[in-house]
Amino acid sequence: MSHSDSRAKASSAGGEDTPATAKDGKDQGGGVSNQAHNQAAFADQQAGANGAKGGVAGKTDGKTAAEGQGGAVQVAGALGVTVAVSNTQATIPDGRTIVAGNGTGVTDGAVSLRAENNTDGSTTADASTVVINVQKFDPDDAKNTINETTDTITLASNHGFHTGDAVLYKGKSGSGDDGIGLTDASTYYSRVDGDKVSLYDTKEHALDTSKTDGRLDLQEAKAPEGVYSLRGGKGGGTGVGIAVAVNVGHVTNEASVGSGAKVTADGLKVEALTPDVSGDATHSFGATAIAGASGGNTGVAGALAVNVGISNARASIADTATLTVTDKGDVALSAENFVANAATTKATQGDASKFGMGASLVLNIGETDTNALIGDAQISDAHDIKLSASSSNAMTTHADGGASGATAATPVIAITVSNNDSNAKIAAATSGELKLTGALEASAAHKGSVETVASGDTKSGDTGLGISLALTIGSDSVIATTERNITAGGAVTFAAGTTSSNKAEAKASVAGSDENKATAADGKDQGGGLNNQVHNQQQYADKRAGAAGASAGTTGSTDGKAAADTQSGTVEVAGAAAVSVATATAKATIPDGLTIVAGNGTGVTTGALNVKAENNTDSTAIADGSATREGGVKGVSSSTAGVPGGDVNVTKLLGQQSETTIAVNPANHQNIIVAPNNIPGIFDATSQDSVWVSTDGGTTWTEKLIPLPTGGAASHGDPSLVFSRDGSRVVYVHMVDKTVPTPPHGNGTMGAHGIGVAVSLDGGNTWLPANTAVIGSLDADEDGDSINDDNDKEFIAVGPDVFDTTKDRFAVTFQRSGVIYASTSPDGLTWCAPVIVGGVDGHRDNGDLRAPSGHSIDAIPRFGPNGELYVVWEEWGTAGVSHVMFDVSYDGGKTWGGGLDQKVFFDTDKSNLDSGDKLVLDQTISMLKADPTLIVTVAGHTDTKASDAYNDGLSERRAASVSQYLVTHDIDPGRIVQVGFGENRLAVPTADEVDEVGNRRVEISLDRLIYTGNVNVFNDPASGGRYDIPAQPVRGVWMGLSMDVDHSGGVNNGRIYVSLTDQADRDGDDDSKNPTDHNNTDIFVLASDDDGRRWNALGDDPVRVNDDEGDASQFHAWLGVDQKSGDVAVSWYDARNDQDETPNDEVQYFAALSTDGGKHWSNNVQVSDGMSDTSKLGVGVDYGDYSGLAFVDGTIDMTWTDNSNSTGDNPDHVHSLTDVYFDHIKLADGDHSIARGSSTGIGIAVAVNVADVTADASIGKATISADGVIVQAL
């Protein structure tokens, strides 16, 4: 068993468009030209010092430059290569003699040969570059750059800032002699008037040009020191990110009896197997290349991934071997060869103001050769003989490309080649026949899947070109046969079967939604975006020619003469080609000229000859080319929600039911399950959680009890559930008590919680104790670190397995002591050990032993279309501030940080960094500079040498060394979390006092801060605790995150959506002294199109969903994507209609729809019929912590907590304890419509599917004697 992995990462953040200047003042027209000029001048000076004539150094002044017309060039390149070669052999060598079982009375002296091999190999290459606009200025009072009267800074005329841009100030802070009234590393918002820029505290103030509210008071510096600059927006240069990942895996697994060997035994077993290692019974090979380019005039992202996985398994008896079987023993040959090959590329380019390209190329080659063979060997006196060759090869190949700019191109190519041979064969004998007293079976089987997806998403302002090619070539051959005469006492069977699915899918979408349209740099518009680009290039070339001595205007010009723009607008072209070629052969044959005798044993009447070939092969080619111009969204007009009588009371129970979730069967939309917290059901004597099941689309509901897992003391609610993608199973997760609480249950002594799982295989109608499980364990100390563990609030998701997207993978996230953990499962019953995703900011202690702690809560998992696993959560550690954090795993939840996390290692009892450590940290520094949203956790560890107390300090010193290195390289300390865990979290388990280099480490983990708000769940300055609002005065509210991902295959395929609650004004003030603003909370949505790296898919700011104009509270939203249409829906609690003497404390349930990827939202729809009010109860959990929504095939199903008693069947009556309600919105076709623009769109799609499928079960011109003959080709 082995695993090989390599990772290469490169980031370029230096893309600041601050070109070099000529030191002698003689500008050469470009930064690189100025550098060349400076070098030439220096060489000339040096030559003169040695007596040479001045000016002899060669010069290129004014003649050439590496700058383009747009500015400087930034390049990041990463190459990852893994070669994994693994050979396993269990053999009896040629010519050896082996005797077994000849002892007196021994009848089981068999010979067994077993070779086992489970090898994984993977590589990841990640390259990203960011171009940043940096404008330096001199604040010296003698320069008059700063006008203290108008509070403006004069910048270069082509500074590139716009009114409303966020800009970062770098320079001296304060109002001293070296200050200008600003704070270093602070963000302000610009208002632009030509070359003069003023700065404001908020974007809203900057945009309101009729006022000067919020304008920063500026001053000139009397004694400036260092560099002063404003940074932001997009730089004017070129950003290039190139990533290449190559993985080669070659596995040989052989068990054999060699030529001329002589074996005498009571039986022989020859096995070449793929063992199960912690639930993994496949060789896994993968290559991932991720490239990104952001900003600049021109951006290019290119990703190439090549994966080659070759696996051979062989169980054989060689020619001229002799096998004598005693005591009626059996002979068995078994060869297993199970493989998963995955290759993925992602090339994402964004925010280029002129030209953008995201090119993605992936090649995935997988070959399996599986053989169970008996050669020209002599076998005598055997009872049963069995040959089995079993193989599988899951091939997943995904190429994703994205580009945006005035002109944008996205070429994407994905190629998969799969070749699989499985054979169970008996070779011809030079003399004699194969004779046995029992049955003979030779079977060969293969299961394969090939999925090739090329997906390109192009967004352009002027012209967009998207080309996607997906090519699948699959060849499967399965043969079971004999070339030797056979005489058997029992049945004789030859069976060959192959099952495979081959798919090629090409998607090219071009949408003219990008805001970047080319403009003429000199203001002389040429009538079109492309014309303006040509004009700018001509002007730049003319300038360069003039610098070289040519006359101005000599460069050829096409101004106003030709354009690729059409008369009616811009041009969008999308072309997609999908080709699938599948050849599959299954043969079970008896050749000509052989004699087969079956069933000649004494008393045998079932000795039939069976010849069976099965072939079930699917081949599909799908091409989708769409070119569109995006527009608005229509209102929801076909809803029955909010109509009296439309609500359904799901629970109808005494007590309080709240915090509800919902799941809809994707195979039967009438099958819906709602899962709430049921109090007192959870806290009564039997303590069981419940779900409610509907089989008629939500009209009627039946309660079903959830069994506890073995060892669970009591149920504790917090449910989450999901259907598998084919609807065949439901996986339900909930909290369970680890220990039996003091009766009665619920008196406050409930203790720590574990996570229980229950699985239903019939749509939720039956839940059996046998189908329950636990994630982690129910031990007080789950992870063995001598510190007890208490888990809370889990959420579940299902999606494609990254290594075989035809299979499901379930993921559960939860928090333990404020740290986010994740665990995954292939079936909902077998779960991997939980691993930390993020959120570590400290430690909890047991004496000198330490475990991670943090301030994070409510982590939501979701899968991307290709098996990417995303997690978003809320961090509340800072009073009055709440952070939305994000992370991604590309290996099914095994590791996090998007493959960017690092480790450095130390010598014994040392904490200093060596040169190798600094090289690793330099990569992290480059990534942190390239992406200011990344937050780094630096965690120190030790081995078990020395005492716990000493190692605690040593781990802190190691973490401090790494943190200090980051800080000295200009990483803001506020972005660094530093913690030491001593020897209590070993990477390599050892006994005490063991020197182990793998444990002497610092782990550098990256999480991403994607949003900052002011709704802080537990640390709100207004209350000193929870964020209370009138409608939720006991439980309080928080940002209430929800997330979903578009898998529709449409224009927004792969887009990640997050909904949240925040203060409506979003001004950064916690409003603890302003109850009106504090309680005015709104629902917002933000989105990402590049795996969560940037959250600007909907613009620079999140989009507000609720459309009321007052100061009411909206909270606890849930978001869902319809995976058929790509539409998005959000539902939430809303107090807008509470206008009585105590406003804002009664709520209804509302919803809204977006049909253009979240940019615009429909009119808000009142879903609930009545008005609920829990504000006066003073007990319980108000409406709980979340509500539920599922959006499936045009129907928005919703569930919420309600005490309006609008249905008249709440046994606790109106405005008392809550029940759980249900209603839905069924959309008509018109509600999905998107208004399109008038530009030209060309969509071309070509799909070619070629399938050659053969199932051959045949008996040639042979002589057969048997109790029956069955020949089947299926």
Residues 439-498: pLDDT tens digits?
A: 999 999 999 999 999 888 777 656 677 788 889 999 999 999 999 999 999 999 999 999
Q: Predicted confidence band at 243 (pLDDT cuts at 50, 70, 90)?
A: confident
Q: Is the dihedral of CA 1091, 854, 1186, 802 positive or negative?
A: positive
Beta strand 571-590 with 262-265: parallel, antiparallel or unpaired? unpaired
| CA atoms of 783 and 776, how far apart (whole Å) | 8
Single out the residue of 283, 299, 281 nearest to residue 291, CA to CA. Answer: 299
1236 pLDDT more than 90: no
Scanning the structure block, which residue is given the tokens 């800074």? 153
Residue 20: which pLDDT band, with cuts at 50, 70 and 90? low
pLDDT at 744: 46
Kindly state the tokens that stand for 927: 């990534």
Residue-level pLDDT at 1229: 55
Task: Cis check for the bond before 861: say yes or no (omega within 30 of 0).
Answer: no
Q: Please, are residues 1102 and 1087 in contact by the beta-carbon 8 Å criterion? A: no
Token readout for 216 is: 């920063």
Cα 550 to Cα 62, 128, 472, 543: the distances in Å are 10, 39, 55, 9
Of 65-69, 515-519, 1026-1030, the range with the lowest mean pLDDT is: 65-69
Domain coordinates in residue numbering, the chain: 75-93+238-512+573-626+1254-1273, 134-232, 659-789, 1040-1198+1209-1232
Query: Do 134 and 291 meet the contact criterion of CB atoms below 8 Å apart?
Result: no
Q: 148 or 28, which is more confident? A: 148
CA–CA distance, 866 with 804 (Å, rounded to integer): 9
Check pLDDT > 60 for residue 100.
yes
Residue 817 banded pLDDT, cuts 50, 70, 90: very high
- What kind and span of H or E run contains 482? strand 440-482
User: pLDDT tens, 1093-1130?
Assistant: 999 999 989 999 999 999 999 999 999 999 999 999 99
Q: What is the DSSP letter of 280?
A: B
Residue 17: band (very low, low, confident or very high) from pLDDT cuts 50, 70, 90: very low
Count of beta carbons in the 10 Å neighbourhood of residue 818: 21
695 vs 646, residue with greater confidence: 695
Percent of the chain whose pLDDT exceeds 90: 63
- Same CATH fold assignment for domains 134-232 and 659-789: no
pLDDT band at 40 (very low <50, low <70, confident <90, very high): low
DSSP SS3 for 1149: strand
Q: What's the mean per-residue pLDDT of the chain?
A: 85
Mean pLDDT of 106-110: 85
Question: Is the model more confident about 102 or about 112?
Answer: 112
Average pLDDT over residues 1259-1274: 92
* CATH numeric code, 134-232: 2.40.30
Q: What is the pLDDT of residue 555?
A: 44
Query: CA quadruple 134, 139, 143, 148: dihedral positive or negative?
Result: positive
Residue 75 has pLDDT above 50, yes or no: yes
Coil, strand, or helix at residue 538? helix
Q: How many CA atoms lie within 13 A of 546 on its CB side?
A: 10
Residue 283 pLDDT: 92
Which tens digit of pLDDT belongs to each residue from 173-225? 999 999 999 998 888 999 999 899 999 999 989 999 889 999 999 999 999 99
The rounded radius of gyration (Å) of the Cα atoms in the chain is 35
Which tokens hold the place of 516? 């970047």
Name residue 694's beta-bridge partners: 672
Burial class (CB in 10 A: 0-12, 13-18, 19+), 402: buried
Q: How far apart are CA 1196 and CA 668, in angstroms?
A: 15
Q: Look up residue 81 and give its two tokens.
A: 């290569």
- Distance in angstroms (rounded) separating the CA atoms of residues 306 and 79: 11
958 alpha carbon, distance to own chain's centre: 31
963: Cβ contacts below 8 Å, ≥ 6 apart = 938, 973, 976, 978
Report the pLDDT value the prediction gives residue 532, as an integer from 0 to 100.
Answer: 52
- Separation between Cα atoms, residue 431 and residue 441, nearest integer Å: 22
CB 424 within 8 Å of CB 389: yes
Q: Which two tokens stand for residue 114?
A: 């077993």
Per the model's pLDDT, the better-predicted residue between 1249 and 1129 turns out to be 1129
Could you give the CA distance from residue 443 to residue 494 in angstroms, rounded to a whole number?
Answer: 6
Q: What mean pLDDT is predicted for residues 661-685? A: 91
Please enumerate in sequence order all residues whose Cβ is within 8 A of that of 948, keeping only pairs 6 or more positions apart, or say none.
847, 848, 849, 982, 983, 984
**What topology does CATH give the domain 659-789?**
Neuraminidase (2.120.10)
Name the residue with higher pLDDT: 1044 or 240. 1044
- The pLDDT value recorded for residue 579 is 87
Question: Would you state the pLDDT for residue 300?
Answer: 81
Tokens of 797: 């998701």
Summarize pLDDT for 313-371 with one digit per residue, the tens: 999 999 999 999 999 999 999 999 999 999 998 877 766 666 777 788 899 999 999 99
629 pLDDT higher than 50 = no
pLDDT at 1167 over 90: yes
For residues 636 and 634, give the distance between their C-alpha atoms in angstroms, rounded to a whole number: 7
Which amino acid, one-letter code, is at 1009? Answer: L
Token duo for residue 974: 């506020």
Give the C-alpha separation, 666 to 698, whole Å: 15
Distance CA 1085, CA 872 (A): 13
226 phi and psi angles, rounded to 5 deg: 85, -160
The first and second tokens of residue 1099, run together, are: 């613009």
Contacts of 675 (CB under 8 A, 6+ apart): 660, 661, 662, 663, 689, 690, 691, 692, 719, 720, 721, 732
Q: What is the pLDDT of residue 552?
A: 45
Q: Is the pLDDT of residue 916 over 60?
A: yes
What does the alpha-carbon distance between residue 349 and residue 128 come to, in Å, rounded to a whole number?
9
DSSP E strands in 562-709: the ranges are: 571-590, 595-597, 609-628, 648-649, 656-664, 672-679, 690-694, 702-705
Contacts of 401 (CB under 8 A, 6+ apart): 301, 303, 345, 346, 347, 348, 358, 359, 360, 410, 411, 412, 455, 456, 457, 468
User: Which pLDDT does position 544 carry in this prediction?
Assistant: 46
**Percent of the chain with pLDDT strictly greater than 70:** 83
The answer, yes or no, to whether residue 597 has pLDDT greater than 50, is: yes
Residues 1185/1191/1196/1202 CA torsion (nearest 10 deg): -10
| Count of other CB atoms within 10 angstroms of residue 747 | 10
C-alpha 401/C-alpha 457 separation (Å) is 6
Among 833, 960, 826, CA closest to 894: 833
Burial class of 1222 by CB neighbour count within 10 A (0 to 12, 13 to 18, 19+):
buried
Token digits of residue 1080:
């005015």
Residue 1105 near residue 1084 (C-beta atoms within 8 A): yes
1102 φ, ψ (degrees, to nearest 5) = -65, 155
Smallest CA-to-CA distance from 674 within 1190, 185, 1265 is with: 1190
| pTM score of the predicted model | 0.69
| CA 1223 – CA 642 distance, rounded (Å) | 9
Using the structure block, give the residue that is written with the tokens 């005015």.
1080
- C-alpha 1147/C-alpha 1115 separation (Å) is 10
Cβ neighbours of 549 (radius 10 Å): 9
CB 580 within 8 A of CB 1248: yes
Report residue 1048 CA to chain centroid gap: 16
Q: Tell me if the bond preceding 676 is cis, omega within 30° of 0.
A: no
Separation of alpha carbons 59 and 63, rounded Å: 9
pLDDT score, position 24: 65
pLDDT tier for residue 568 given thresholds of 50, 70 and 90: very low
- The count of residues in the chain is 1274
